[in-house]
Amino acid sequence: MQGKKILDKLIIKGQNLLNGEVEISGSKNASLPILFATLLTDKDIILNNVPNLRDVTLSIKLLEYIGKKIEYLNNNKILIRQLSNIKYDAPYDLVRQMRASVLIIGPMFARYKKALVSLPGGCAIGIRPINLHLEGLKELGADIDLVNGYVSVFCKNFLSNKIIKLKYPSVGATENLIMSSIFIEGKTVIENVAKEPEIIDLCNFLNKMGAIIKGIGTSKIEIFGVKKENLKSIEYTIIPDRIEAGTFIILGALASESLVIKNFEAGHIEKFLEKVEATETKIEKLSKNILKVYGNKNIKPVSIETSPYPGFPTDMQAQWMVFMTQAEGKSIIKENIFENRFMHVAEMMRLGANLEIKNNTVLVNGKTELKGANVMATDLRASAALVLAGLVASGKTEISRIYHLDRGYEAIEKKMTKINAKIFRVKE
Ligand code: EPZ
């Protein structure tokens, strides 16, 4: 599997006029914390709209390793049950493949007052430490040790009525600390939390199970401790994936007559949609969950800089860069969240993009004609950007290492082919 997955590639024949409808799948970044949140209870949980992604499969593998039994009731609906014996660790070979595995620390701390999780290690876009997670856990009474590359968390007694001030609104730290607190007697306050829609989805899921979380969607979250046995068996539907939606919206502007994007929440990507409209791309909100985007032959250059929600999402930065290579003029892209999230720049230059990189800023000189070439995916959103570039470029583009893409885009060739893209996977 290791060797095989590396060799899979996508072949794209560019410049086909795209048309039709795209159905957005469930959110990867809401699914992962919610999947791990099921560790807080031994009751049966049913989740709807769970996307079929490599990261979800890896999360399910980790849950099964720990002691959950997962059954697919249909393609996107899963039943999660608990077996008797629970393990308290997340092994290196699972965690190194998906750093979101650190999200088991919160539920394990809350329920068992212990966890042993391999340090995730870095990834292509940065070293991605978890110091903010661990500092918060210490405030809640955890003893933290680092042994042989593993984080060992142990707690004799929770500390109640604590106020945790996050130094930075980290998405993962916010999720881990909310989950850590739900059984702590009294009121735990977390300030300067991240406010991404995926965090709101996690909090809604936890409250539906019986947790008491207030201030959802604001920078200050209050968690009132409940008893473990009070959590109920529930069914919950995951929100749509706003980053998949944004990716297809850019594709619509770049390479279609028009695309209808279905089953997504416009409210989750307001800042992004503002920027799309600033490029003078026509978009029509046909309903709360359906948007029509029209091809744009005269894209205005629009500079962006990434910031925590509700700012411009870092997960849309690479895709925006492709978009701006087709704009009539210069634009600047500033990445403020990750220290190494320009791995796609060199690959895009191979396709003819005219980019100048300086520290955490890229100057995009548009409009440049892109020509097909062999390129390599380096991380999830970079690979999505290369697919967009391949669909815009003349000739054939081959993208290798597309297991990165499979982490976050469900059935991407099927969805693309449905809107007339010439794209297929070569399984080596
Ligand atoms: C989540 O990652 C997402 N992943 C990322 O999506 C997304 O890019 C990121 O949030 C920002 O929105 C999931 O939700 C599974 P952070 P996370 O903690 O939680 C630094 C994708 O493509 N930091 O908000 O890891 C960190 O190094 C992925 O779907 C610390 O320094 O993001 C980074 O520079 C990529 N110490 C910044 O904060 C910490 O303890 C943002 O990280 C934690 C984070």
- For residue 25 and ligand 1, the question of a CB distance below 6 A is answered with no
Closest atom of ligand 1 relative to the 194 alpha carbon? 24
pLDDT of residue 88: 82
Beta-bridge mates of residue 330? 365
Taking alpha carbons only, the member of 205, 202, 196, 105 closest to residue 155 is: 105
**Ligand 1 midpoint to CA 245 (Å):** 20
Q: Structure tokens of 415?
A: 């969805």
- For residue 149 and ligand 1, the question of a CB distance below 6 A is answered with no
Q: Which amino acid does the sequence have at 139?
A: E
Question: Ligand 1 pocket check: which of 32, 102, 337, 342 to mutate, most ligand atoms within 8 Å of Cβ?
Answer: 337
**How far apart, in Å, do the first and last CA atoms of the chain sit?**
11
pLDDT of residue 77: 98
DSSP letters for 9-35: EEEEE--PPEEEEEE--B-HHHHHHHH
Q: Whose CA is nearest to atom 7 of ligand 1?
A: 315
**Ligand 1 midpoint to CA 178 (Å):** 16
**Ligand 1 midpoint to CA 123 (Å):** 11
DSSP label of 306: B
- For residue 29 and ligand 1, the question of a CB distance below 6 A is answered with yes
pLDDT of residue 129: 87
What number of other Cβ atoms are within 10 A of residue 1's Cβ?
A: 6
**Ligand 1 midpoint to CA 197 (Å):** 14
- For residue 122 and ligand 1, the question of a CB distance below 6 A is answered with no
* Residue 51 C-beta-side C-alpha neighbours within 13 Å: 25
- For residue 129 and ligand 1, the question of a CB distance below 6 A is answered with yes
**Ligand 1 midpoint to CA 246 (Å):** 18
pLDDT of residue 3: 46
pLDDT of residue 2: 46
Q: Whose CA is nearest to atom 28 of ligand 1?
A: 315
The set of long-range contacts for 163-168, using a CB threshold of 8 Å and a minimum separation of 24, is: 163/189, 163/190, 163/191, 164/136, 164/139, 164/140, 164/188, 164/189, 164/190, 164/191, 165/191, 165/192, 166/132, 166/136, 166/190, 166/191, 166/192, 166/193, 167/132, 167/135, 167/192, 168/132, 168/192
Taking alpha carbons only, the member of 344, 412, 54 closest to residue 425 is: 412
Query: Cα–Cα distance between 149 and 142 in angstroms, integer?
Result: 18
Q: Is 155 a catalytic residue?
A: no
- For residue 407 and ligand 1, the question of a CB distance below 6 A is answered with no
Closest atom of ligand 1 relative to the 135 alpha carbon? 40
**Ligand 1 midpoint to CA 11 (Å):** 30
Q: Structure tokens of 13?
A: 């024949």
- For residue 126 and ligand 1, the question of a CB distance below 6 A is answered with yes
Closest atom of ligand 1 relative to the 168 alpha carbon? 38
- Catalytically annotated residue among 11, 119, 123, 200: 123
Taking alpha carbons only, the member of 104, 115, 163, 117 closest to residue 139 is: 163
Q: Which amino acid does the sequence have at 173?
A: A
- For residue 408 and ligand 1, the question of a CB distance below 6 A is answered with yes
Query: Cα–Cα distance between 253 and 391 in angstroms, integer?
Result: 12
Q: Could you list the pLDDT tens digit for every one of the 428 residues in the chain?
A: 444 456 789 999 999 999 999 999 999 999 999 999 999 999 999 999 999 999 999 999 999 999 999 999 999 999 999 987 788 888 888 888 888 999 999 999 999 999 999 887 667 777 778 999 999 999 999 999 988 888 899 999 999 999 999 999 999 999 999 999 999 999 999 999 999 999 999 999 999 999 999 999 999 999 999 999 999 999 999 999 999 999 999 999 999 999 999 999 999 999 999 999 999 999 999 998 999 999 999 999 999 999 999 999 999 999 999 999 999 999 999 999 998 899 999 999 999 999 999 999 999 999 999 999 999 999 999 999 999 999 999 999 999 999 999 999 999 999 999 999 999 999 86
Q: Are 12 and 422 in contact (CB under 8 A)?
A: yes
Q: Is the full-model pTM beyond 0.85? A: yes
- For residue 123 and ligand 1, the question of a CB distance below 6 A is answered with no
Q: Structure tokens of 290?
A: 């359906």
pLDDT of residue 357: 96
- Could you identify the residue written with the tokens 């609906």? 77
Closest atom of ligand 1 relative to the 196 alpha carbon? 12
**Ligand 1 midpoint to CA 169 (Å):** 9
- For residue 51 and ligand 1, the question of a CB distance below 6 A is answered with no
Q: Whose CA is nearest to atom 21 of ligand 1?
A: 315
- For residue 130 and ligand 1, the question of a CB distance below 6 A is answered with yes
Q: Whose CA is nearest to atom 39 of ligand 1?
A: 130
Query: Cα–Cα distance between 68 and 66 in angstroms, integer?
Result: 6
- For residue 53 and ligand 1, the question of a CB distance below 6 A is answered with no
